[in-house]
């Protein structure tokens, strides 16, 4: 699966839909988070095999955030995080923070501040559209 393939574009669409639904239903910050593995499993339900630990998932998430950014919305990929040692969602991978700091996003601040700001922004935006 590569950028421009129909399955890639479908994976971006489905990821955005899944993440918006998650944010819309969130009652707390933690409720809006999903691990890379869980997102991969959701995509598999729609017959899209996207490994969570390698392959196109980072590119899918970047394209999802670019698409949302073009519409004036927050970085939706902030909702996708690593699984912590305790099995609970943790923080995004380093790739998220590198993406957030470069154009066109140009976010600044600590990793934690960028992440928390973007998650809350996405939650607020999805609540407004409900």
- Reported as a single tens digit per residue, the pLDDT across 85-121 is 887 778 899 999 999 999 999 999 999 999 999 999 9
- To the nearest whole number, what is the mean pLDDT of the chain? 91
- The pLDDT-based confidence of 66 (bands split at 50, 70, 90) is very high
The closest of 91, 85, 83, 94 to 35, measured between CA atoms, is 83
Any domain includes 48 = yes
**CA 24 distance to own-chain centroid:** 14
Distance separating alpha carbons of residues 85 and 19, to the nearest angstrom: 23
Give the residue numbers spanning the domain of 10: 6-128
Q: Is 119 domain-assigned?
A: yes
**Residue ranges of the alpha helices (H) in the chain?**
6-25, 36-45, 57-70, 94-101, 111-128
For residue 107, the Cα-to-chain-centroid distance in whole angstroms is 16
- Residue 125: per-residue pLDDT: 94
* Mean pLDDT score, 21-38: 92
Is 89 part of any domain?
yes
Given this model, what pLDDT does residue 51 score?
Answer: 75
Q: How many domains does the chain have?
A: 1
Residue 1 covered by a domain = no
pLDDT tens, position by position, 6-18:
888 999 999 999 9
């Amino acid at each position: 699966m590569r950028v421009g393939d129909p399955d890639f574009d479908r994976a971006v669409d489905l990821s955005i839909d899944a993440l918006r639904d998650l944010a819309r239903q969130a009652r707390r910050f933690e409720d809006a988070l999903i691990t890379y593995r869980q997102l991969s499993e959701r995509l598999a339900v729609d017959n899209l095999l996207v490994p969570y630990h390698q392959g196109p998932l980072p590119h899918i998430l970047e394209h999802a955030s670019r698409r949302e950014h073009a519409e004036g919305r927050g970085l939706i990929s902030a909702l996708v995080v690593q699984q912590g040692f305790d099995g609970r969602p943790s923080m995004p991978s380093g790739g998220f923070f590198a993406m957030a700091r470069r154009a066109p996003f140009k976010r600044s601040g600590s990793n934690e501040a960028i992440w928390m700001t973007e998650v809350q922004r996405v939650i607020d935006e999805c609540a407004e559209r409900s």
